Amino acid sequence: MNDKAFESVIGLEVHAQLQTQSKIFCGCSTRFGDQPNSHTCPVCLGMPGVLPVINRKVVEFAIMTSLALHCEEIPPRSVFARKNYFYPDLPKGYQISQYESPLALRGSLEIPAGGNGLRKIGITRVHLEEDAGKLVHGEGADSGSSFVDLNRAGVPLMEIVSEPDLRTPEEAGDYLRRLAAILVYLGVCDGKMEEGSLRCDANVSVRRRGETALGVKTELKNMNSFKNVEKALAKEIQRQIALVSEGKKVVQETLLWDPDNEVTLPMRGKEEAHDYRYFPEPDLLPLVLENSWVEELKKKIPELPQEKADRFVRDLGLTRYDAEVLVAAKPVSDFFDETVKIHPEPKKVSNWVTGEFLRIYWAEGGGPVKMTPQNLARIIKMVDEGKISGLVGKKVLEESYKNGQDPEKIVQEQGLSQVSDESALIGIIDEVIKDSPKEVERFKSGEEKLLQFLTGQVMKKSKGKANPKRVGELLKSRLGK
C-alpha cells in the first residue's frame, strides 16, 4: 500500500455552547453542575401550549462570530426549523434549529501553511440551535435504570460548518484550535472540548492524488479533545486507504471514537438513519436582523488572535512562531501585552512568557493568569541587573505564580541573591575541583568545553545562586589558565 498515492479530505462540523446567562428560548439559567432538572420550565420541558422566545444575546453572539469569520452573507432574514427525531433527552420530540436559511454563509478562517504562510479554510455556514438534555445511567442500586436531566435542554448552541478544505489531521487540529481561540477572544464560548462546551464532528474521505471528485465520507463523533480529533482522523484515514487499496469500498457511516483503545467503532444499528422531516418552526417568527444592529456589533469585535499575532510580529519584532504561541491563550497574550508595557523589551519578555511562564501556567491548570505583570517585570529586572541568576529567576517565578508573593521578598527571605564574592565562592569551587579530577585534567590539557561542565557543577552546589560568569573566571585562575 502506498499512502502517498492518496490524499485525505476533511470537513468539520463544530458545535459551540454559547456563554449566555439564560437558555435560547426561555429564561432558565444555563449554569452547569447544579441539581438535575433545577433549571427547567414548561418551555424547555417541552410542555404543550407554551411558546419559545428567542434570546437576543444568543443572536448577538452568533452575529459577532459570523463577522469574525468573515462571512460574506449575514442575511437580513433567517428562519428557525424543526428537526424531528425521538430520543428520551428531547422532550418535545424535535430540536429547534436552522436549516435552509441559516444565520450566516460563506466565511473563512486561516490556518498555518508552513513558514510564515497562511491558508484559507472555507466556512459553509453558521447557524443557531438548542441543545438537548442528558441521560444519566444509574449505578449500584439504580443500575439498569436511566434518568433524564433537562438542565442542558435549551442551552444555546452555535454550529459552524467548514468546507471540505482540510487535508490532514494536523490541519484539522489547527483549524479547531484557531476557531476555539476566536470564540474565546469574542467571549462567546469558553472553547473547552474536554468539558463539552466545544464539540466536533469530523467528516473524512480519501481519494487518489490528482482526483477532484470527493470520495465517500465517514463521520467521526465523540472526540473530547483537540488531540483526539487528530488521532481519530489519522486512524480513520489509514483504515480508508487500506480499504480502497484493496479495491474495496468505504461505506458512508457514523463512527464513534473510543479514546481508551484508540479505535473508531461503527455506531450501533440504525441510530443514524434519520429522516428529520425538517419544516419551518411555526412558533417563531423569522429572525430579522436590522443592518444598524449588525454595524453596531462590528464595532464591538475585539482584537482577534490573528490580528494580535500580526501586531506582535510587526510592532514588537517577535517571530511568527512566538507570536502564535502567545496568542493561543488569550489570558497569556493579555499578560504579555501588559508586561511589555512595564518592561519594554518585547523579545526578552516573550522568552520568559513562552518558556518558563507557560510551563507553570499550564501546570497550574491554565485559566486566568494568577500573577501580576508587575511581578514578572520585577523578576526580569533582577535577572538583568545580576541580582539573581536566571536559574533562580525561574524558581522565583514559580513561587510567585503559586502564592502571589512579591519576588523581591522571596529573594530576600530565602537568601537567593546572586553570589559573586570570591570568598563566598572559593570553597565550593575547590570542592568541585576535588570531586571532578578527570574533568579537571581534561580541561587543563586544553578541552575548553569542560569549563562549562565545571561551572555547571558549581552552579548546582550553590543551588543556582552563584554568578556563572564570575565562577568561570575563578575556575580558570584556580586551574592556572
Minimum distance of Zn ion from residue 153's CB (angstroms)? 8
Binding of Zn ion by 388 (CB under 5 A): no
Query: What burial class does residue 406 get, using C-beta atoms within 10 Å of its C-beta: 0-12 exposed, 13-18 middle, 19+ buried?
Result: middle
Residues binding ligand ADP (CB under 6 A): 9-13, 161-164, 203-205, 214-215, 217
118: which 3 cell numbers? 497562511
Q: How far apart are CA 381 and CA 266, in angstroms?
A: 58
Q: Contacts with Zn ion: how many residues (CB under 5 A)? A: 5
| Residue closer to Zn ion, measured from CB, 26 or 157 | 26
Nearest 5 degrees, angle CA 355-CA 357-CA 363? 105
The SS3 assignment for 236 reads helix
Q: For residues 163 and 338, which CB has a smaller minimum distance to ligand ADP in the complex?
A: 163
Q: Residue 13 binds which one of Zn ion, ligand ADP, none, with CB within 5 to 8 A depending on kind?
A: ligand ADP
Choice between 59 and 380, CB closer to Zn ion: 59
Q: Which is nearer to ligand ADP, 240 or 389 (CB)?
A: 240
Between 31 and 298, CB nearer to Zn ion: 31
- Minimum CB separation from ligand ADP for residue 265, in Å? 19
The distance of closest approach from Cβ of residue 147 to Zn ion in the complex, given in angstroms and rounded to an integer, is 19
Q: What is the DSSP string of 166-178?
A: B-SHHHHHHHHHH
Provide φ and ψ at 235, rounded to 5°.
-60, -45
* 44 touches, from ligand ADP, Zn ion, none (C-beta below 5 to 8 Å by class): Zn ion
Long-range contacts of 215-218 (CB under 8 A, 24+ apart): 215/9, 215/240, 215/244, 215/250, 216/249, 216/250, 216/251, 216/252, 217/9, 217/11, 217/250, 217/252, 218/250, 218/251, 218/252, 218/253, 218/254, 218/255
Binding partner of residue 217 among ligand ADP, Zn ion, none, CB cut-off 5 to 8 Å per kind = ligand ADP
Backbone angles phi, psi at 208, to 5 degrees: -70, 140
Residue closer to Zn ion (CB basis): 42 or 366: 42
- Partner whose footprint covers residue 26, from Zn ion, ligand ADP, none (CB < 5 to 8 Å by kind): Zn ion
Q: Which residue from 157, 72, 76, 48 is spatially nearest to 120, judged by alpha carbons?
A: 72
Of 469, 470, 466, nearest in space to 418 by CA: 466
Query: Burial, 2: exposed, middle or buried (Cβ in 10 Å; 0-12, 13-18, 19+)?
Result: exposed
> Shortest gap between Cβ of 221 and ligand ADP (angstroms)?
12
Q: What is the DSSP string of 96-114?
A: EEE-SS-SEEEEEEEEE-S
Residue 204: name its binding partner from ligand ADP, Zn ion, none (Cβ under 5 to 8 Å by kind). Answer: ligand ADP
| Main-chain phi, psi angles of 110, to 5 degrees | -95, 140
Nearest CA to 3 out of 218, 164, 244 is that of 244
- Shortest Cβ distance from residue 161 to ligand ADP (Å)? 5
Q: How far is the CB of 50 from Zn ion (least distance, A)?
A: 9
- 151 vs 162, which CB is nearer to Zn ion? 151
459 binds, among ligand ADP, Zn ion, none (CB under 5 to 8 A by kind): none
Q: Which does 205 bind (CB under 5 to 8 A by kind): Zn ion, ligand ADP, none?
A: ligand ADP
Shortest spacing between CB 296 and ligand ADP, in angstroms: 31
Q: Which is nearer to Zn ion, 131 or 165 (CB)?
A: 131
Q: In whole angstroms, how close is the CB of 217 to ligand ADP at the nearest point? A: 4
Q: What's the min distance (Å) between Cβ of 99 and ligand ADP?
A: 11
Nearer to Zn ion, 41 or 234 (CB): 41
Residue 41 beta carbon to Zn ion: minimum distance, rounded to whole angstroms: 3
Give the sheet arrangement for strand 104-112, strand by strand. 104-112, 118-130, 156-162, 6-17, 198-208, 218-221, 254-258, 263-266
Using CB under 5 A as the binding rule, the residues of this chain from 2 to 41 that contact Zn ion are: 26, 28, 41
28 binds, among ligand ADP, Zn ion, none (CB under 5 to 8 A by kind): Zn ion
User: Three-class SS of residue 378?
Assistant: helix
Binding site for Zn ion (CB under 5 A): 26, 28, 41, 43-44
